[in-house]
Structure 1
C-alpha cells in the first residue's frame, strides 16, 4: 500500500512541473534615412488677359489700346497678373517684382514690388502645364497670384531700350523669371523735321498759285518705332512793315473764312471769287491723300483751321490715315487764292504742324 501511494505522489509531481522548451535567439537594430528636400526656384506664369497698358493720369489713365509699338512715356503703366508657384511652400516666397535691364532673364534692376491678391484661378485654365504634362490647379499652400504695376519714370532715370519682366525670389535667394520678356523703348525723344518752305514766289492779286512742296518727317529717336498722329493749324498773315497794306479790305491776309463753309470750295460771281478760303493744302502719304478728307474740294485740297491752343481744334492732315511712322514722310503742297485788291507783303504768320505720339 505504501508503495502504491508513493507512485501516485511521484506521478502528481511529474504532472505539476512546468513544461520547458528552447527559444530561438533574435536581435534588432534601427537604421535612419538620409534625405535632403531640394530647394526649388519659384516659377512664374503670366495671365495674358490681365496684361494691360495704361495712359498716364493726365490722360485719365485710360487703357492705351491704340499703342501698336513697344514705346512708353513718363507716367504710362504696364500691369500684369502673375502666378508664383513654389514647391517649398507659398510662405517661402520672399519677394516678387518687375525688373528692367539690358539683358533677358534674372539680375536686372528691380523697379517695382508686386502685391499679392486674392485670386484663386487655376493656372491650367490659362494653359499652364507641368510634368507629364497636366493642367496645373491652384494650390494655396504652394501658389499665390500677384499684381505688378510698372510705371515709366521721367527721362532722367529711364531712357532707352530695356527688357522688362517679372521675377520671384525665395528665402534662399533662388530666382524664377517669367518666360515672357518684353522689350520697351522708354521715353523716346519725339520730333518732326520740315524740309522746304511755303514759297509762292511773286503772285498777282486775284491769282491762284501753288507753293513748293514741303516734306514733313517723323524724326523721333531711331529704333523707337514711335508713331505720330499728324495735325495742322495756322494763323492769319500780316505785313510786318508799316506799308499801308490791305487784302482785300483790311491789313490782314486771312487764313480762312472763319472755318465756315464753303471752305476750299471757291465760289465765284461775275468772274470774281466771293467765297472760299485763301489758303488750302494737298497732302500725300503712301496710298492716302487729302482727296478723301471730308472738307476737300474737287482738286483734293482741304482747309486749315485756326490755331487756338486747343488740340481738339487742330485738323488731322489726312483724315483716313493721319499716322506717321518713325522715319516716315508726308508731302504737302499749299495753294493760295490771293484776294483782289491786295497790297503788301504778308510774311508775318504761321502754318503749324503737330505730331502727337499715339
Structure 2
C-alpha cells in the first residue's frame, strides 16, 4: 500500500476537514467612527476579535489609554446602516462580503456578561458556516418586558443584537449561551416573535437571517432543562489584554411582575449571573426516613419549649436565630484564626550574631519590614 494513502486512512477524514477549515481564508472590512475602511484577511476558523488582532491599526486603537478598560463594540453594517451588534467571539466566516464592521469602544458594565463565549472554542473552530445559524433580536421586548440586555452602554448604542448558534440547538439555550440577555427572561415562558411565535423549546434552524422581538407568553416560573444547565466558558472581551475583575451585581428586574424573586424547588434563585444553578433530584429511598423525622418533630419541639421555657412560635424562631448567630460568630473566629496562621508565615526574627534584636515581616526576597528601634543606628550586620 502506498504510504501517503495509508497515512490518510489512519488519520481519518475529520482531521483533514479540520485542517481544511483552518487553511481556508476569509476577508472582511472594518472601520472606526465610520471613516477610513480597513481590510482584514484571516482564517475562517478565527473569531472576529482574533481576526481584528491581526490588524496593526486595530491593535493601535485598542491599546490607546482611553480604550484599555473599555469593551469592544462590533456592529454589522450594510449600505451604511448598522444592522446588529455581534460579540467578539462571532465566527468571522459568517460575515458577508458586502458588510462592514463598525468598531467602537463602550463603557464596561459590571452587570454585563459580554465576556461569555457562545460555544466551546474547540467546537467553534471546527464548525463550518453551514452548521451555524444567525438571527437578530431587538433590544426591547414586547408586552411584560421592559429591557432585555444587561449592558446599559450596549442598550444605548444598538437596536438589535446578532446571535449565532449551532443547528439543532434550542432557542432558549442559544440566548442563554449568548450571555448578553438578563437572567429573568429565562425563568419565564417566552418566545421570539415575527409573523409567528417561536417558543423557547423550538430549534434555531428556521431562524437564520431573520429579525425578532422577544415576548413573554407566561409569567410562571419554568423548570430548568438539562440543556439550560450546560456550563459555559468565558474569555476576555475587553479592550486591553489584561484581565479585569468583574463584580457581579443584581440588575433591575425588567419583567413587569410584582415579585422580585420567586422560589423554585424550595430554593430562592438569585439574579447574580455568576451563580450557576443545577437541577435538584430527590434522594432515593428517602420517604421512610422523612416520615420518621416528621413524626419526631412535634415531640422535639415540645421538649425544646419546656427546656428553654418558650411559649409560642415566635419565641422558638427567636431562639433559633440566636443559636444561628452564635454559630456564625464561631465560624468567623475560625476564619480569623486561619488568616492569622497564614499571615504568621511571614513573621521573622531579626538577629545580630547570636542575639535576637526583634521581629519583623518578610515582604519578599530579602526585604524585611520592622520598627526603627529594632535596628537602631544603621550597621553592616
Identify the TM-score tier after normalising by the shorter chain.
under 0.3
Structure with more helix by fraction = 2
Structure of higher CA gyration radius: 1
Given the two structures, how large is their TM-score scaled by the length of structure 1? 0.20
Greater RCO (Cα-Cα under 8 Å, separation 6 or more): 1
